[in-house]
Each structure stands twice: as C-alpha cells, then as structure tokens.
Amino acid sequence: MGDSKGETKTLYRAVVHGAAELPAVFIESYSEDFKDKDRYFGERVSNGAFRELLERLRQQLREADADPLDGETDALNKKVIDKLLLEGKPEQAGLILSAIEEFANNLAKAAHSLLRLKSWADVSRIVVGGGFRESRVGELVVGRAGVLLKAKHPEVDIQPIRFHPDEAGLLGCAHLAPSWIFKGHDCLIAVDIGGSNFRCGLVELNLEKSPTLAAATVLKSRLWRHADEEPDRESATRTLGKMIDDLLEYGSKKNKRIAPFIGMGCPGTVLEDGKLKGGILNLPGNWGAKNFNLVDRVREMIPTIDKQDTIVALHNDAVVQGLSELPFMQDAPKWAVLTIGTGLGNACFRNKTNG
C-alpha cells in the first residue's frame, strides 16, 4: 500500500473507470456492436440463442415425429445436455452435434466480423469465456469455431479461457489495480456483476509465487442469483454490499491482509466517472439513471478497508474476464476475448511490453 493516506486519497480521486489504459495493457476496444445482415451477433451467440437453435432443430424433427429428446428445451440444463452428448442415444447426440455445428458457425462468423475491425487488426489469439464455455458443449463449440475460423484467419488461434468463467471474472479484477496497492497485502475484493448473477470473491494474490499474478486464486466467493428474485436496484445494491462485508469478515478471520481496493466488472459501457450506459437492461432496476453511480454506492457501503479509504475501479465485465488471461498472453502482442453468456461480450487488448 502507499506510504500515506494522502497518496490513497489522490488515487481515490484520480481513478478512471472503463479506462483505455491499465497498468500492463491497453484496451483497444470493448463492447463492439456489430451485425450480420440485420441481426446483432449478440442475439445469435448467447446461452439463449443456443437453446433457440436446439428448439428449432427439435421442432423440425417433431413435424416428422422424430424428436429424440424428452421434455421442454428450456428445462435441459448444461449438465443434462452434456450427458446426452456423451452418453445418450446416437440420435440424441447427433441432434446436439447439429446444434453445436450451427452455433460454432455463428461464433466463427462473429469472430471474423470483429477481426475485420480496425481495433482488432493484428489480433493473434482469442479466448472464449462466459458461462456457456464451462460446459463440454461449450468447449466443442469453441474448438469447432477455431477450425472454421482458420480458413479465413490462419494466423488466429481461438481457445477456451483457462480459468473457470466464474473465477475468471474475479481474477481479472486484480489487473485493474496499480501494483503499489498490493504492497503489504495478501488479497483484494473482486465483484462480477452479471445479467443473472452477482458474484463477489476474495482473491488471494500469491505474489511470492508470481509477480505477474499468474498464481492468483479465488480464496472464497459468494453468489447471488438476482434473476430468480427480481429485486429493485436499491435492494440489489444492498445485497451486494452485504456480500462484500461477508468476504471482508471471512478474510479477517483468516488473518488475511486485504488491500483497500475493490475491482468490479459490469455489463455495458463504463464511463470515466463510474456511471453506466448501454448493455445493462438485464440488471435489476435502472442502473443507467442519472442519479445512480455504482462506484459511489459501493464506496458509501464500504467506505474503508483495513482503516484506509476504499478505492473502487470499475470496468466492463468482458474486459475484466479477459484480463484473467493477461499473465499468459505475453507471447501474443495483441489478443482478444469473447464472452458467451446472457449476450456476447467482447474486448481487445494490446500488451504494453510488446509495444
């Protein structure tokens, strides 16, 4: 941590949210809005889009009385679909493989469209995260999309994000902080705000193992599925504050030295003052209102950590999830992330160490 309270207050005022420049990387772009013909790719590459695609294929088979699956498509969760793919009857696995093929085509087309943008020029690696990636179906989609993409972009590799998506969205928060803030501390608080869930984590830095944060781990996390409760904005933010308080208490009991820093990822465009616009329709309440500032609200609830003023840094959730890969991307001067969840997130990075 800094040598004086004055240093902390200076940074407190100077933090730029949604920053284009972070300590170790430049953010070339994020949340690019792009279409294929008259439909946004976010409508074609998402958890919901895969289910729509599977339902459409099933409907075609129902007309011939040949649907091999039982029950409603919406009731088939990722574990069930994975099991049908690996252990089901050949016709069941074949149907799911058909959905994988079409969905992978859509993902490859989305990546191709992004690679044609000026901000994505010279990208050599794309990692795919988001909740969809954690299933075997998701992994196969990424693998097949990689094969398809090679036909047009032989220089680009596409691969699943290495960490579990739930943890990647927390681990990336450590890369939002200036390195000096870690001095004398073991952990920091990370927050991943999604269209269905809030997730908070106590991230252990393990800097003695790796100064690049390659060994950082999620020591403890809390999850709240707000989509099941449909709360208003005020009760949602209060719950968020309680989740953070619980982690601070847990860290204290474990004698962890927690940095006075909260890193946060959130959907949409993040303005310099911490306000939000666009891409936030699935959050509980109106998070884009002029009288609401998420950063200020978190500071009100958590004014100090370890008796020091709390510093909050907020960025787009796809950016933060992508940052979890930063320690492993030093051989790729320019790289990117796609996150498949409620929608399709995207971000493009350029490493400072590679010019």
β pairing state of 125-129 and 39-40: unpaired
Mean pLDDT of the residues in the chain: 91
205 CB-contact burial (10 Å; exposed 0-12 / middle 13-18 / buried 19+): buried
Q: What is the pLDDT of residue 338?
A: 96
CA distances from 244 to 249, 275, 291 (A): 9, 20, 23
Q: What is the pLDDT of residues 224-234, one digit of tens each?
A: 999 888 899 99
Q: Taking residues 309-327, report their average pLDDT.
A: 96
CA distances from 165 to 143, 148, 152, 180, 340 (A): 17, 23, 28, 27, 10
Whether 102 shows a pLDDT value over 50: the answer reads: yes
High-pLDDT (> 70) share of the chain, % = 94
pTM of the model: 0.91
Give residue 5's pLDDT band: very low, low, confident or very high (50, 70, 90).
very low
CB 188, CB 164: distance < 8 Å: no
Whether 9 shows a pLDDT value over 90: the answer reads: no
Q: What is the pLDDT of residues 196-223, one digit of tens each?
A: 899 999 999 999 999 999 999 999 999 9
- Ranges 3-7, 14-18, 95-99, 282-286: which has the least confidence: 3-7
Q: What is the pLDDT of residues 174-185, one digit of tens each?
A: 999 988 888 899
Give residue 10's pLDDT band: very low, low, confident or very high (50, 70, 90).
very low
| Token pair belonging to 188 | 């920091």
Q: Report the distance separating Cα 344 and Cα 323, nearest Å.
A: 17
High-pLDDT (> 90) share of the chain, % = 79
The full set of domains in the chain, from first to last, is: 5-32+165-354 (3.30.420.40)
Give residue 35's pLDDT band: very low, low, confident or very high (50, 70, 90).
low
CB 346, CB 114: distance < 8 Å: yes
Q: What is the pLDDT of residue 2?
A: 39
Q: What is the pLDDT of residue 342?
A: 82
